[in-house]
Amino acid sequence: MSNREYLLEQMNWPTIKEKIEAGMDTVIICTASVEQHGHHLSELTDTVIGQEVALRVAEKLGNALVSPVIRPGLSEHHMPMAGSITLRPEIYRGIIEDFVTGYKSHGFKKIIIFSSHGGNFNENEKIVKELKEVHPDIQLSSALSLTRLMELMAQFEKKYGLVEGSCAHGGAMETSVMLHIAPNQVDMDKAKAGYVGPMTEEVLNKLFNQGIVGITEVGIMGDPTKAKAEWGEYFLDLFSDEIVKAVRDEFYFQNA
């Protein structure tokens, strides 16, 4: 089975039913975004990366299928830049609730909801916590926290000798991944560094109060000019491995 054969939206319904009945009882939902990623990356960047990570998680788990990626997401801080779309939180929440209710009705017993966009993480954790109470007969996980994702980005920076803050948004990490899996959506001739530095409380306050334009004119937090396609594979494996570990630990605990 190639990893694209895990995609629910590319299957017919009898095939999906057969797979669930055969024990593929886990579904992976990625929430992403449609938002600016500087001058060199497409607005679908988080969606493209999120689907690839979900496919790798499914392949590693062995009993999982991949939902259509939920997008747009929560991107209010990117709205000053053309093309970015943000959902109202209640609409975003409702979409996730409907996905979970629908997949539960089809027989899925475990539902993983992770994000490839930083702005969705906190809301996902709240939604999953509430949905666990609404649906105690299935298992749900929000996989990783935003803090843990930032630790993985720091690990990426350290491995490749990058300065702190090279990878936050549209920087070296996302650009490397896109060069690896979707090079047709990258224009390195237009890549420009934006804010490069630590994510201090002051920086975060500017980001969420003034939008990303309060920090960088080009819409980038990091330095995409340092990116290399071969680095993308490392981060995809790092991210997907971490989700698999977190989910297995959580689902084991829920079964205890």
Give the per-residue pLDDT at 255. 66
Cis peptide before 68 (omega within 30 of 0): no
- The pair of structure tokens assigned to 219 is 């819409």
CA dihedral of 173, 178, 181, 183, whole degrees rounded to 10: -140
Query: Closest Cα partner for 113 from 142, 135, 73?
Result: 142
Give the per-residue pLDDT at 207. 85
Give the per-residue pLDDT at 199. 85
Q: Write the burial class of residue 26 (CB in 10 Å: 0-12 exposed, 13-18 middle, 19+ buried).
A: buried
* Euclidean distance between CA atoms 222 and 101, whole angstroms: 38
- Which alpha helices (DSSP H) does 106-171 contain, by range? 121-134, 146-159
pLDDT tens over the chain, length 256 residues? 557 789 999 999 999 999 999 999 999 999 999 999 999 999 999 999 999 999 999 999 999 999 999 999 999 999 999 999 999 999 999 999 999 999 999 999 999 999 999 999 999 999 999 999 999 999 999 999 999 999 999 999 999 999 999 999 999 999 999 999 999 999 999 999 999 999 888 988 888 889 999 999 999 999 999 999 999 999 999 999 999 999 999 997 676 5
Whether residue 104 contacts residue 111, with contact meaning beta carbons closer than 8 Å, is answered with yes
Query: Which domains are delineated in the chain?
Result: 3-255 (3.40.50.10310)
How do strand 110-115 and strand 64-66 relate by DSSP bridges? unpaired
